[in-house]
Amino acid sequence: MTARIRLTSAVLALIVALVPAIGSAAEPRESCANRDPLRRALYGDLHVHTTYSLDASTQDTRNKPADAYRFARGEALGIQPYDDDDRAMRSVQLDRPLDFAAVTDHAELFGELSICRTPGLPGHDNLACQVYRRWPRLAFYLMNGRASRGLRPAFCGENGARCVEATRGIWQRMQQAAEEAYDRSDQCAFTSFVGYEWTGSGGLSNNLHRNVIFANATVPDLPISFVDDTDPRFLWSELESRCRKAGTGCDVVVIPHNSNLSAETMWLEENPDGSPLTAEQARARAEAEPLVEVFQHKGESECRVGTGTTDEQCNFEQLPYDTMAAVSNTALRSPPGPNNFVRSILGVGLAEQARIGVNPYALGIIASTDTHLGTPGYVDERRHVGHGGAGPPLRGLPRGLPDAVEFNPGGLAAVWAEENTRESVFAAFRRKETFGTSGPRIQLRLFGGWDYPANVCASGEVAAAGYAGGVPMGGQLAAPPSGAVSPTFLAAALKDAGSPDRAGTDLQRIQIVKLWLEDGEPRERVLDIAGTPDNGADVDLASCEPRGAGHASLCTAWTDDSFDPAAPALYYARVLENPTCRWSTWVCNEHAVDCSDEGSVSEELAGCCDASIPKSIQERAWSSPIWYSPPTTD
């Protein structure tokens, strides 16, 4: 077996090295000096807002896409508030550059913002623009209210022509910023993607938002926005005709985000007339949306205790409400339902495939920040400054918590790619060899096959064995070979290596989450397969010093002994770190907050004493699933 794996992996490595990445058309560039045929982990952020977004600009974010890309590449960046001389009063910097990023500003108001901010353009002196320049907080509600209903203001002119033309200029500047940031040298140090956000909304601000990420510099002449049509199916159709099937080399993926705030409307399982999805509709959705953002600044969307699961790890960074409107209006708050969460909809996908032969929700996993400061990848719990979004402009340095206490610093998107180029990274998006983290740069691999040897982790050739003997995360298990009884999953994780001024946190355990169909209904099982939950590690909440040891690496070959070859199933891995202090604990400690003396706690620090907010967390990573479908019989 070992000899066969080594031979097969050598052939695989040669093939991968010689054949270009499958996906988008290649762009002219130098060859990378370093290329790994067995792929390496790259980390990025695919959800980034700058001053080109209404909500970011009305909270006085002044950084532009070019600034965001400079930040992603490791440069320091000033952020609000600004003094009387327009100098930033705060500065932030990543401890390590990102490998890739995409600026995804809200497309719906590109033209309106450009008109309001550019003297001399027709419409610049209209009332709405005067409100925007003088009372930005009010302007956010007025302008966003119209856009969220798919409407344009009157100053856009007939059929919105003025705003459409102004949009073109913003869109071109976004493309130019991405192009200038892309490292086309043989160092391949940074990859930028052209992107934007389709900011869909329904009901009382039910979140239907999606990030649109293009494979290369070939993109439509204008972004397709929610104002063009409020149905996401229009977005998919237009992207198909104007990009993927336009014959220009354009390719694109659409990534839903914040399904935890969608009031269960992100993943509707039927058409507006109540009819069920057809196989063709399911296929179109799956093709357009191969990935989902499971974690970001406004909470986790994996799962939630009480919505069909008893998994205790589904209490991580949860928001106690289910719509965007409820963020600021407590009267609108109601608890989230099951279909706000990705795990639930992955199970729905299994049921849909059994019904119509196509899984519309075969979703790979990523995470990102949703920063509204132009600071991609700024996920540091210890130095969290908030990411903003529809907040008021700062008039001075924050005196307490820099963000809503229930929010968090966000996460990172990660891929396994041969090299850091658009072609290679985007190909990983397409094949779903992706994972998300809650911030740390944990490395997580998952492979599934039918005959991995029990001692594969000791061989030191985990990746080679994984590819040779099965499929990686995002893949589909082949039908079991003759004599095979159960699949085996090879899971491996390395802790974040850390930075020069801070060590990474030890790992606690790897878990497998299994979903399968039983009597036509999704079932779930969560198992610890490496490490242990009771390793004795914790954190001193007063000093935030970690206590106890964990693991620098974890690896195991786990066999599903309860496997039913007649039942559709999927498996994904989740790796947990040892406990560390949450960002709010760091801030509250710095201010010496004493919750036993209520009178001493200022309003700005009241969140420190919110009993619903945990003091410590277990950072984590989630792999994309591996799917299994029973063989079909004619």
Residue 574, pLDDT score:
98
Mean pLDDT of 624-628: 98
CB–CB of 581/378 below 8 Å? Answer: no
Phi-psi region of 58 (alpha: psi -120 to 50; beta: other; left: phi over 0): alpha
Q: What are the φ/ψ torsions at residue 628 (nearest 5 degrees)?
A: -130, 130
**β-sheet bridge partners, residue 513:** 526, 572
At 602, which amino acid appears? S
Whether 521 shows a pLDDT value over 50: the answer reads: yes
Strands (E), 468-617: 470-472, 488-494, 507-518, 521-531, 538-539, 546-547, 553-559, 569-577, 580-581, 616-617
In-domain check, residue 163? no
Structure tokens at 504: 């990474």
Q: 5 pLDDT band (50/70/90 cuts)?
A: very low
CB–CB of 49/372 below 8 Å? Answer: yes
In-domain check, residue 260? no
User: What radius of gyration, in Å, describes the C-alpha atoms of the chain?
Assistant: 24
User: For 62-82, how does the pLDDT look when each residue is reduced to its tens digit (9 = 90+)?
Assistant: 999 999 999 999 999 999 999
- Can you tell me which residue has the tokens 């719509």? 323
Residue 2, pLDDT score:
39
CB–CB of 103/195 below 8 Å? Answer: yes
- Can you tell me which residue has the tokens 């992100």? 266
Residue 267, pLDDT score:
92
Residue 633, pLDDT score:
67
More reliable by pLDDT, 396 or 46: 46
Whether 547 shows a pLDDT value over 60: the answer reads: yes
The count of other CB atoms within 10 Å of the CB of residue 394 is 18
Mean pLDDT of 159-175: 96
Mean pLDDT of the chain: 92
- Can you tell me which residue has the tokens 């709010």? 584
Lowest mean pLDDT among 135-144, 234-243, 275-284, 370-379: 135-144
Angle value at C-alpha 201, between 196 and 204, nearest 5 degrees: 150
In-domain check, residue 630? yes
CA distances from 40 to 186, 243, 400, 622 (A): 17, 29, 40, 17
Q: 390 pLDDT band (50/70/90 cuts)?
A: low
Whether 230 shows a pLDDT value over 60: the answer reads: yes
Q: Which residues contact 99 (CB under 8 A, 6 or more apart)?
A: 42, 43, 44, 190, 191, 420, 425
User: For 244-294, how does the pLDDT look when each residue is reduced to its tens digit (9 = 90+)?
Assistant: 999 999 999 999 999 999 999 999 888 888 899 999 999 999 999 999 999
What is the share, in percent, of the chain residues with pLDDT greater than 90?
A: 82
Residue 183, pLDDT score:
98
Residue 185, pLDDT score:
97
Structure tokens at 178: 């991405």
How long, in residues, is the chain? 634
Beta strands 546-547 and 538-539 are antiparallel
Residue 19, pLDDT score:
39
- Can you tell me which residue has the tokens 């093939």? 15
Helix 342-356 and helix 279-288, axial crossing angle in degrees, nearest 10: 140
Mean pLDDT of 18-34: 68
Whether 18 shows a pLDDT value over 70: the answer reads: no
Q: Could you report how far apart the first and last alpha carbons of the chain are, in Å? A: 34
Q: What is the CATH number of the domain that holds 625?
A: 2.60.40
Mean pLDDT of 323-347: 90
Angle value at C-alpha 400, between 394 and 401, nearest 5 degrees: 85
What is the share, in percent, of the chain residues with pLDDT greater than 70?
A: 95
Residue 378, pLDDT score:
98
Total of domains in the chain: 1
CB–CB of 493/507 below 8 Å? Answer: yes
Distance CA 264, CA 276 (A): 17
In-domain check, residue 482? yes
Q: 634 pLDDT band (50/70/90 cuts)?
A: low
In-domain check, residue 622? yes
User: For 170-208, how does the pLDDT look when each residue is reduced to its tens digit (9 = 90+)?
Assistant: 999 999 999 999 999 999 999 999 999 999 988 778 999
10 Å CB burial of residue 97 (0-12, 13-18, 19+) is middle
Whether 6 shows a pLDDT value over 80: the answer reads: no
User: For 345-366, how does the pLDDT look when each residue is reduced to its tens digit (9 = 90+)?
Assistant: 999 999 999 999 999 999 999 9
Picking from 552, 320, 517, the residue whose alpha carbon sits closest to that of residue 442 is 552
- Helix ranges restricted to H, 416-545: 422-431, 462-469
User: Range of 627's domain?
Assistant: 441-579+618-634
CB–CB of 522/307 below 8 Å? Answer: no
Q: 22 pLDDT band (50/70/90 cuts)?
A: very low
Whether 583 shows a pLDDT value over 90: the answer reads: yes
Residue 399, pLDDT score:
86
In-domain check, residue 572? yes
Whether 539 shows a pLDDT value over 80: the answer reads: yes
